[in-house]
Amino acid sequence: MTVFIQKVRNYRLELISFTTGFCLLAYELAAARILAPSIGSSTYVWTGVIGVIIAALSLGFYVGGRIADSRNRTSDVIWLLVGAGSLVTATLLFYEGTLMSIVESIDDARWQAVVAALLLFAPASFLIGTTSPYLAKLKVTSLTATGRSVASLDMFNAIGGITGTFVTGFVLFGFIGSHETIALVALLLLAASWLLSPRLHPVRRLIMSAVLIMIVAAPAPASAEAISIDTASAHYKVVTGFINDRPARGLITGPEGTQSAIYINGGSEPVFWYTQQMAKWTVERGANDILILGGGAFTLPQHLATQLPNATIDVVEIDPELESISKTYFNYQNPANVNEIFEDARTYVNRAEKTYDIILVDVYGDTSIPFSLMTKQYGKAVARLLKPDGLLVANLIAGETGPCRDVFTALDAAYRQSLPNAIYSNQANRPVSRANYIVVYSRQLLPPPGLYKQLKPFGGSAYTDNHAPAERLYFDCRQTR
């Protein structure tokens, strides 16, 4: 034990550097996660968060270096770490109200992300940054060892960042929530402060430590209206309310709407118009081999399994945790004729060899499709899985007028090169600026039934895996209400 304590003392500066690297990356990942329900999780949001945190960190390096040169006190590092832990704790206490105010006062998601990061995450990141030059000042004892001393701290900080990234993304989000991850960051910063001179100001430090521990140990606030669930892939909310004047439970993956839902008071019929249409096309066709890209809460596979008990239904869903969420909250019963494939949709269509009578595409994160599913390479790959007389039925959130027309053009062009014929409809049965469209693609000319019409090509060229500006297209489209 004595040998171990001595080694900790010898490497305490490196351990602190490792811890701050770990905490910064865990904090950054958790930051994007807690912004997702209110602001979204697009590249724009990630850009805002990363840019602000790096700017705060850089400013911390500069200010910390200036102060360290003039003071060089061990106690400063202690209080900087305690201060950083306190500001991380403040994030826990105030992020919900802050995000609500930001969303109500700012319409642009890019500025929402920047302002949220400035208010919630920049202060703690700044203090974490100030510790780095202080540690270097304490570590360097001679000019001949300056390079090795600074390199050692940088190495441990980088290793801590790498560890924080993998542990948070692969482990923490899968077992604890983003709220608890931020609480862990606060506790680690607090623990790191005790590695330096534990006998210095012990009473004040114990009091502050006790207060912070009590705050971060408190459970995340429960919502009477929603159940928040974190998985390794996403943040979800299960909400209850009314849809079509009936009590319903829905699954939310972002700030713009409910992605899957069931009626609480019985009935297994699809809740949303677009889901009803996808089910209708599948059942009326009597499909035997069915592929669904995007499982959501597995409400559509459950319904189709009942309606077509002899069919084989392959469901591709990127998040394996959605199976248990669907069983717990959405009456999913894991039917024998449903095969769950937990994989990215694009990865599956690239490698699959099986062909299908009908392919149903509803791969949305909030209200946007990943860029990899709006390219001509994707369109060619998914068409390859369709039998010669098969149908591809896609739910597209787009518009025939205004900015959302560019989204419609891009998505339509991806399918057209291999599936040249298309009919379409929306619930309003008229051209609108933004809505859920059901588009049915095929190799053969289809007579449009009921309210469906022939969809003429928009005339745009398909985007490619190298260039598909999904974020820009969806950003412009989201401004349409």
Pick from 160, 189, 217: which residue ends a domain?
217
Full-prediction pTM beyond 0.85?
A: no
First to last CA, the chain: 65
How many folded domains does the chain comprise?
2
Domain region containing 16: 2-217
- Which residues are within 8 A (CB) of 378 and not within 5 positions of it... i.e. 6 or more apart? 346, 349, 372, 414, 465
What is the per-residue DSSP string for 432-459?
A: -SSEEEEEEEESS--PPPTT-EE-----
Pick from 217, 240, 275: which residue ends a domain?
217
Same domain, 182 and 285: no
Same domain, 203 and 342: no
Pairwise CA distance, residues 394 & 28, whole Å: 35
Domain contains 228:
no
Same domain, 212 and 271: no
Q: Cite the DSSP H helix spans in 319-433.
A: 321-329, 345-351, 376-384, 404-416
Pairwise CA distance, residues 119 & 139, whole Å: 32
Same domain, 199 and 326: no
Domain contains 229:
no
* CA–centroid distance for 255 within its chain: 12
Q: Tell me, what DSSP letter sits at residue 375?
A: B
At 338 the three-state DSSP class reads: strand
Tokens 């090509």 identify what position? 457
Domain contains 237:
no
Tell me the CATH number at 202: 1.20.1250
Same domain, 209 and 273: no
The tens-digit pLDDT sequence of the chain (481 residues) is 555 555 556 678 999 999 999 999 999 999 988 888 788 777 888 888 999 999 999 999 999 998 888 877 788 899 999 999 999 999 999 998 999 899 889 888 789 999 999 999 999 999 999 999 888 888 876 666 677 778 888 899 999 999 999 999 888 887 887 888 999 999 999 999 998 877 787 888 888 888 888 888 877 665 546 788 877 777 888 999 888 888 999 998 877 778 889 998 776 789 999 999 999 999 999 999 999 999 999 999 999 999 999 999 999 999 999 999 999 999 999 999 999 999 999 999 999 999 999 999 999 876 678 889 999 999 999 999 999 999 999 999 999 999 999 999 999 999 998 999 999 999 999 999 999 999 999 999 988 998 899 999 888 789 999 998 888 888 888 766 5
Same domain, 173 and 97: yes
Give the other-Cβ count within 10 Å of 88's Cβ.
30
Q: How many helices (H) and strands (E) does the chain have?
A: 17, 12
User: Tokens standing for 254?
Assistant: 């972002």
Domain contains 297:
yes
Same domain, 177 and 316: no
Tell me the CATH number at 422: 3.40.50.150
Strands (E), 148-192: none
Same domain, 316 and 198: no
CB contact at 8 A, 54 and 118: no
CB contact at 8 A, 193 and 78: yes
Pairwise CA distance, residues 345 & 350, whole Å: 9
Q: Which amino acid is at 430?
A: R
Same domain, 284 and 138: no
Domain contains 413:
yes
At 388 the three-state DSSP class reads: strand
Q: At what angle do helices 109-120 and 43-70 cross, to 10 degrees?
A: 30
Same domain, 187 and 274: no
